[in-house]
Chains A and B, each alone.
Chain A
Amino acid sequence: NAGVMQNPRHLVRRRGQEARLRCSPMKGHSHVYWYRQLPEEGLKFMVYLQKENIIDESGMPKERFSAEFPKEGPSILRIQQVVRGDSAAYFCASSPGLAGDNTQYFGPGTRLTVL
Chain B
Amino acid sequence: AQTVTQSQPEMSVQEAETVTLSCTYDTSESNYYLFWYKQPPSRQMILVIRQEAYKQQNATENRFSVNFQKAAKSFSLKISDSQLGDTAMYFCAFFLTGANSKLTFGKGITLSVRP
Show the binding face of A for B, using Cβ within 8 Å: 31, 33, 35, 41-45, 48, 55-56, 59, 89, 91, 93, 102-106, 108-109, 111
A55 proximity list for chain B (CB < 8 A): 99, 101
A111 and B43 alpha carbons, distance in the complex (Å): 10
Interface residues on B, range: 20 to 34
Given contacts A89-B43, A109-B44, contact A104 B107 (CB under 8 A): no
Partner of A102, one of B33, B91, B107: B33
B64 at the interface (CB under 8 A from A): no
Which residue of the partner chain A has the closest CB to B4? A42
Q: Is the CB of B102 within 8 A of A103?
A: no
Report B29 CB to chain A, min CB distance, Å: 14
A93 proximity list for chain B (CB < 8 A): 45, 103
Given contacts A42-B107, A103-B35, contact A91 B45 (CB under 8 A): yes
A41 proximity list for chain B (CB < 8 A): 107-108
Dominant secondary structure of chain A at its interface with chain B: strand
Give 8 closest A-B pairs by Cβ, nearest first. A42-B105, A106-B45, A45-B102, A43-B105, A42-B107, A108-B44, A42-B108, A42-B91
Q: Is the CB of A56 within 8 A of B47?
A: no
B104 at the interface (CB under 8 A from A): yes
Pull 14 A–B residue pairs with CB atoms less than 8 Å apart, ordered by A.
A33-B102, A35-B105, A41-B107, A41-B108, A42-B105, A42-B106, A43-B45, A43-B103, A56-B100, A93-B103, A102-B101, A103-B35, A104-B95, A106-B47
Q: Is the CB of A59 within 8 A of B50?
A: no
Q: Is the CB of A59 within 8 A of B102?
A: yes
B97 at the interface (CB under 8 A from A): yes
Q: Is the CB of A106 within 8 A of B102?
A: no
Report B98 CB to chain A, min CB distance, Å: 10
Not counting A48-B101, A105-B47, a sample of 5 additional A-B residue pairs whose C-beta atoms are within 8 angstroms of each other reads A56-B100, A91-B45, A93-B45, A103-B50, A111-B43
Q: Is the CB of B43 within 8 A of A102?
A: no
Partner of B101, one of A35, A44, A56: A56
A106 and B48 alpha carbons, distance in the complex (Å): 12
B60-115 CB contacts (< 8 Å) to partner A: 91, 95, 97, 99-108
